[in-house]
Amino acid sequence: MNRLNTARPCTSMLSYVSCVCLSLVALLLTQPAVAQLATPLPATIVTDLGERQATLRSASGAYQLEATSRTEPASSLRQSEETASSGLRLLELPAIEYRQLPESQLWGDWITTASGERAWQGVLLLEEAGWNTLYFGDYQLSRGDILIIANEEGEVRGAFTEANNVASHSLTTAPLYGERLIVYYYPASGKRRGLPWRLSTITTALLSAVGEELPLPNGNHSGSGGAPWFIVKGLECAESTVLHPEVERIARSELMLVVRGKAFCSGTLLNNSRQDGDALVLTAAHCLNANYSCRDLKYVRQSAEQTVFYFNYFSPTGDPLINGIEEQTLAGAELVAYNEEHDMCLLRITGVKPDVPQGQCAIPPSYRPYLAGWNAERNFPVPVIGIHHPQASVRRYNRADEKPLLESYDMASVPVRWINSHLHIKKWSIGTTAGGSSGSGLFDKNHHLIGALTGGSSYCSTPNNDYYYALSEAFTGYPDDKCLKPHLAPTSDQTILEGLDPFAAKPPVRLSHQLYSLMRDNVLIRRDDASIEGVAVRYDIDTSVQYLGSVLVLGAMQEWTPMTLAIYGDEEGKPGKRLYQQTLTNPSYMLVRGSEKTPKARVLSDAFQAFFPAKEDTPLTLSAGAYYIALEGSEGKALSAPLLMSKAQLHDTSYAWHLVGSSWEPAQIGGAPYLGHYWIDPIVLGSLKAGGTSAIESVNEPRVMLAGERLYLLLPEAWLAGGAPAEVELYSAAGQRILSLPLTDVRSSLSLAEYALQSGIYIVHLTGAGERYNCKLIRP
């Protein structure tokens, strides 16, 4: 548990000790590692960077930076989490900070590139390699200007352009691994000029410094990677949200926050009464004030500017877990409302798409954002649900069946007394929180946000005593900059508001044969086959859509082999004319092994998913029909990508295809027809059914299945018409109600493990849209 020392100055570092395990992901030159509204690099700059990397690796002219401050060794602060007292649930890494940076003329100069372009180049040598977050001030690029940050391995952040200009004139980059960093500035005029930016701070998060708790990437390779996210041992009781499709919409509202490059929290996108898609994020005040050690508002505002927001960081399977997408981020925020008396903090993301008309959501549609509704009343229905990123891991699900009461929350280490301000979770029925969960949302039975996490002491073995500050207590009664009503209900006096899907008229949909399937965990990893040059998956689309990009779900890789992503039309039931192609060039995915120093022998423990956005210069519209999303090896070579694939045979006809020589053939594995799917999920914009493909089964009456400790439910779509949730109740044969939960998705998967059901007969009661359904279940 994080222990706070309030006597430390704001420039010092706090240390956090936890048992974590890293997944390191980065993309190289022509594919930015993190979207962050970065512009694709021009071909001439790609060539320049490629030619300069070898020279820069051995260059002796780098400017040596001296750290302003450094964390204490984490090993000196180790303690048993199971015996730790209640405390704030912020996760913070050991870090080095560089604040007294030299003037640019001391560490860089103007050069003429190999392509003849004029550019400014500066090289910085840090005290130690780590995950570096850069903060720029006075950032105001002109149209056509380009700013790029690279490391010695050729990984880049950017290109950043005038599209990243914000009112605060600041820019925060997503973490980039390395010890030597290179900054490039290409002016649109091609002439030497004053730099329209100032590098103000660098924060280096140290991962290997924690010793055995943080094993190095595969093969002890520490020269490549992307961002320090974690899959953590000890969180088995906090289930992946994908196991609970009934919370899919509100789960999309939950974000992972990285503050100042080293502190990890959670936050929730919230709707407001204007229904204008404003990117408001509710989190905890202590996430931005360094656990109340730096309470100056200038520091807090700077923390907001130096925050990176990660969307859709979730596992597409339940068990084993798969690392989430790391390419969907936005950076930078402004402080909207802040109240330490309740630990409340409301932010507005500033690093959104530019030139979006007022009243429209500026978050990219491919991020599939959902702005959660809220309930600012003291009365709310149970059970309550928590969604969060404990230990900066993939999104997790908690549930408490008992109604939390409004209580005081007092910690000796915090210089604030929270009086009758927090909802007390006495015991979780499912799940636990951990460091990194701070600021995460607590929802009522109707999926309205009612609070955000401050702290607690829950663990899987003792899932007790977590505290969420209540929206009801911070909603009114304070000046506008210290309460929520002026920002969440600016046009009305309402105290309850429904959520908003800002792109509902033409929603972005992740098409998938597996993500929405009840058998989504029944997967394996594709093996190399020298005779197969490509694989394709068929999708049947029932209306015109715009292609936004694709998510690939892959096993662990030591290195990336270039491949082509292509889209084919249908010709007599097989891939026909090629409509689109995109080269996926040299991203390098480096992952560690599971959650222990010694790898577990689980096939999927190192699997990950990555999002590849569509090319901006060639938008693709697909009319209704059948299409094939394909991955092909480069230059006629065999495809070696370890794609995940389904074991289940879901079709009577082939939806998976192999490119053998120059011909597409129905997929065969081991000489037998393969009727499952490779895991390639296109994201499209259009009015499709949930799931959007023929792989999603529809039913006329509910279906119920009990498999082990999990209850699977499939509802008719009509049962959810009008947006009102359906409901499931489970009774014993004696009539005792065991559970009652809302259902907001046609597919639901509920864990029954915590109910310890005995052998016997149980009754399932379903209601929705005025319909009722009952059936018996036999527990062997």
Task: Supply the DSSP string of 692-717, one letter for each residue.
Answer: -STTS---SS-EEEEETTEEEEE--G
3-class secondary structure for 488-518?
HCCCCCCCEECCECCCCCCCEEECCCCCCCC
pLDDT digit string, tens, across residues 201-234: 999 987 633 222 222 333 222 333 333 444 456 7
Q: Is the pLDDT of residue 633 over 80?
A: yes
Q: Is the pLDDT of residue 588 over 50?
A: no
698: left (phi over 0), alpha (psi -120 to 50) or beta: beta
Q: How confident is the model at residue 39 (pLDDT cuts 50, 70, 90)?
A: low
Nearest to 278 by CA among 350, 174, 176: 350
Note whether 246 and 728 are within 8 A (CB).
no
Determine what percent of the chain is predicted with pLDDT higher than 70: 82
**What do you get for the CA distance between the two ends of the chain, in Å?**
42
Q: Give ∠ CA 39-44-45 in degrees, rounded to 5.
A: 55
Q: How confident is the model at residue 654 (pLDDT cuts 50, 70, 90)?
A: confident
Q: Is the pLDDT of residue 46 over 70?
A: no
Q: Stretch 437-455: mean pLDDT, rounded?
A: 97
Note whether 476 and 342 are within 8 A (CB).
no
* C-alpha atoms less than 13 angstroms from C-alpha of 217 in its C-beta half-sphere: 23
- Identify the pLDDT of residue 56: 55
Note whether 4 and 291 are within 8 A (CB).
yes
Indicate the burial class of 727 (C-beta count within 10 angstroms; 0-12, 13-18, 19 or more).
middle
Q: Is the pLDDT of residue 404 over 90?
A: yes
Note whether 179 and 125 are within 8 A (CB).
yes
Q: Is the pLDDT of residue 240 over 80?
A: yes
Nearest to 541 by CA among 621, 646, 474: 621
- Identify the pLDDT of residue 219: 27
Q: Is the pLDDT of residue 81 over 60?
A: no
- Identify the pLDDT of residue 705: 79
Q: How confident is the model at residue 746 (pLDDT cuts 50, 70, 90)?
A: confident
User: In this predicted structure, which of 80-84, 121-125, 261-265, 320-324 has the lowest mean pLDDT?
Assistant: 80-84
Looking at per-residue confidence, does 544 or 22 come out higher? 544
pLDDT digit string, tens, across residues 504-552: 888 898 999 888 877 788 888 888 899 999 999 999 998 899 999 999 9
pLDDT digit string, tens, across residues 698-716: 678 888 878 777 788 888 8
CA 532 to chain centre: 33
* Residues 6+ positions from 147 with CB-CB distance below 8 Å: 136, 141, 158, 159, 160, 161, 171, 183, 184, 185, 186, 197
Pairing of strands 156-160, 146-151: antiparallel
Nearest to 146 by CA among 134, 132, 133, 156: 156
Highest mean pLDDT among 208-217, 613-622, 656-665: 656-665
- Kind and range of the H or E run holding 541: strand 534-541
Q: Is the pLDDT of residue 314 over 80?
A: yes
Q: Give ∠ CA 524-528-531 in degrees, rounded to 5.
A: 130
Q: What does the domain layout of the chain look like in residue ranges?
A: 22-229, 508-685, 703-779
Largest CA distance in the chain: 83
Q: Stretch 546-563: mean pLDDT, rounded?
A: 84
Q: Stretch 604-619: mean pLDDT, rounded?
A: 74
- Identify the pLDDT of residue 52: 61
In whole angstroms, give the CA distance from residue 438 to residue 469: 11
Note whether 151 and 181 are within 8 A (CB).
yes
Q: Give ∠ CA 128-131-136 in degrees, rounded to 5.
A: 100
- Identify the pLDDT of residue 76: 29
Q: Give ∠ CA 494-498-499 in degrees, rounded to 5.
A: 135
Q: Give ∠ CA 202-204-207 in degrees, rounded to 5.
A: 170
- Identify the pLDDT of residue 210: 26
- Identify the pLDDT of residue 501: 94
Pairing of strands 588-591, 22-26: antiparallel
- Identify the pLDDT of residue 568: 98
Tokens describing residue 195: 């730099």
- Identify the pLDDT of residue 590: 27
Q: Stretch 727-751: mean pLDDT, rounded?
A: 86
In whole angstroms, give the CA distance from residue 139 to residue 166: 8
Q: Is the pLDDT of residue 48 over 80?
A: no
In whole angstroms, give the CA distance from residue 2 to residue 435: 8
Tokens describing residue 118: 């004029």
- Identify the pLDDT of residue 505: 86
- Identify the pLDDT of residue 439: 98
> 461-482 b/e with 16+ CB inside 10 Å = b?
eebbbbbbbbbbbbbeebeeeb
Which residue's structure tokens are 């989490």? 81
* Residues 6+ positions from 295 with CB-CB distance below 8 Å: 289, 340, 415
Q: Is the pLDDT of residue 408 over 70?
A: yes
Task: Specify the CATH number of the domain 703-779.
Answer: 2.60.40.10
Mean pLDDT of the chain: 82
In whole angstroms, give the CA distance from residue 50 to residue 57: 12
- Identify the pLDDT of residue 21: 26
Pairing of strands 545-554, 198-205: unpaired
- Identify the pLDDT of residue 521: 81
Nearest to 399 by CA among 439, 433, 435: 433
* Residues 6+ positions from 581 with CB-CB distance below 8 Å: 564, 565, 566, 567
Beta pairing partners, 240: 396
- Identify the pLDDT of residue 768: 92
Highest mean pLDDT among 43-57, 259-273, 640-654: 259-273
In whole angstroms, give the CA distance from residue 255 to residue 331: 12
Note whether 90 and 265 are within 8 A (CB).
yes
- Identify the pLDDT of residue 585: 63
DSSP secondary structure string, 229-271? EE--TT-TTSEEGGG-GGGHHHHTTEEEEEETTTEEEEEEEE-
Question: In whole angstroms, how large is the CA radius of gyration of the chain?
Answer: 26
- Identify the pLDDT of residue 212: 24
- Identify the pLDDT of residue 393: 87
Cis peptide upstream of residue 490 (ω within 30 degrees of 0): no
Dihedrals phi, psi of 448, to nearest 5 degrees: -95, 135
Which amino acid is located at 396 in the chain? R
Nearest to 224 by CA among 73, 28, 379: 28
Q: Is the pLDDT of residue 7 over 80?
A: no
Q: Is the pLDDT of residue 250 over 90?
A: yes
Note whether 35 and 364 are within 8 A (CB).
yes
Tokens describing residue 426: 């006495």
- Overall fold of domain 508-685: Jelly Rolls (2.60.120)
- Kind and range of the H or E run holding 590: strand 588-591
Which amino acid is located at 73 in the chain? P
In whole angstroms, give the CA distance from residue 228 to residue 243: 25
